[in-house]
């Protein structure tokens, strides 16, 4: 019986060894499965991270474009504000000068009247002084009288209200300045009303 028992013990040990080998094989297979799962997970993580990085890169570029557009808009705003300020400064007297043009016209009409008495001549001298002072003040603000008489007609500066005929002068030459025109610096406030040679 000892031999049978010995044989059983040997068989048991072989079975036990086989079980151990089987368990080791299962452990190796499980480890390989775990490794492949980790690799698959890492691949998923890597592809997920790549997608996130790509999305964040796109968002960063969009924000950078927005920032650059805002900077350009701000620079344009500053430039426009500066130009507006310069124009405002340059033409600050425009309303006052425009309102005083009829006064200048009236002074011109008054000075064109011939003074026959000494008292009238004295008054004309005073009117001349006031007119000259007013004109000097307006010229210091940039008012310029548009020259018209004997100049070639220019629709940018002259308004033809009549035509005439003078054979001694070429066609298109201004024969008479009916109402003076004025400019404020480089801006025409009122064109000269003129009579033009046919």
Q: Supply the CATH number for residue 95's domain.
A: 2.30.22.10
Residue 44: half-sphere exposure toward Cβ, Cα within 13 Å: 6
In a shared domain, residues 40 and 74:
yes
In a shared domain, residues 31 and 128:
no
Query: Does residue 28 surpass a pLDDT of 60?
Result: yes
In a shared domain, residues 185 and 120:
yes
**Confidence (pLDDT) at 165:** 86
| DSSP H/E element including 192 | strand 192-197
In a shared domain, residues 76 and 32:
yes
- Final residue of a domain: which of 61, 90, 119? 90
Domain residues for the domain of 169 are 91-197
In a shared domain, residues 95 and 159:
yes
Non-local CB neighbours of 153 within 8 Å, separated by 6+ positions: 160, 172, 173, 174, 194, 196
CB 134 within 8 A of CB 111: no
In a shared domain, residues 83 and 102:
no
**Confidence (pLDDT) at 80:** 93
Confidence of residue 65 (pLDDT cuts 50, 70, 90): very high
Mean pLDDT confidence for 33-60? 74
Mean pLDDT over the full length of the chain: 83
Tens digit of each residue's pLDDT (9 = 90 or more) over 105-134: 999 888 888 888 888 889 999 999 999 999
In a shared domain, residues 86 and 61:
yes
In a shared domain, residues 85 and 95:
no
In a shared domain, residues 97 and 83:
no
In a shared domain, residues 108 and 132:
yes
Q: What is the CA radius of gyration of the chain?
A: 51
Helices and strands (DSSP H and E) totals, the chain? 3, 6
Confidence of residue 13 (pLDDT cuts 50, 70, 90): low
- % of the chain beyond a pLDDT of 90: 36
Counted domains in the chain: 2
In a shared domain, residues 40 and 97:
no
- Final residue of a domain: which of 90, 108, 143? 90
In a shared domain, residues 105 and 154:
yes
Mean pLDDT confidence for 13-28? 70
- Final residue of a domain: which of 37, 65, 90? 90
């Amino acid at each position: 019986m000892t031999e049978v028992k010995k044989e059983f013990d040997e068989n048991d040990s072989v079975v036990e060894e086989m079980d151990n080998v089987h368990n080791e094989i299962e452990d190796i297979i499980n480890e390989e499965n775990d490794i492949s799962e980790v690799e698959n997970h890492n691949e998923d993580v890597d592809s997920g991270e790549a997608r996130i990085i790509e999305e964040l890169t796109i968002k960063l570029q969009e924000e950078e474009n927005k920032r650059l557009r805002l900077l350009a808009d701000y620079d344009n705003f500053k430039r426009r504000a500066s130009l507006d300020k310069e124009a405002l400064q340059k033409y600050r007297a425009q309303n006052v000068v425009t309102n005083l043009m009829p006064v200048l016209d009236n002074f011109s009409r008054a000075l064109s009247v011939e003074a026959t008495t000494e008292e009238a001549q004295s008054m004309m001298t005073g009117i001349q002084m006031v007119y000259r002072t007013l004109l000097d003040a307006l010229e210091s603000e940039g008012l310029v009288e548009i020259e018209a008489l004997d100049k070639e007609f220019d629709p940018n500066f002259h308004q033809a209200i009549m035509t005439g005929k003078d054979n001694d002068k070429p066609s298109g030459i201004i024969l008479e300045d009916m109402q003076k025109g004025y400019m404020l610096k480089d801006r025409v406030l009122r064109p000269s009303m003129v009579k033009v040679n046919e």
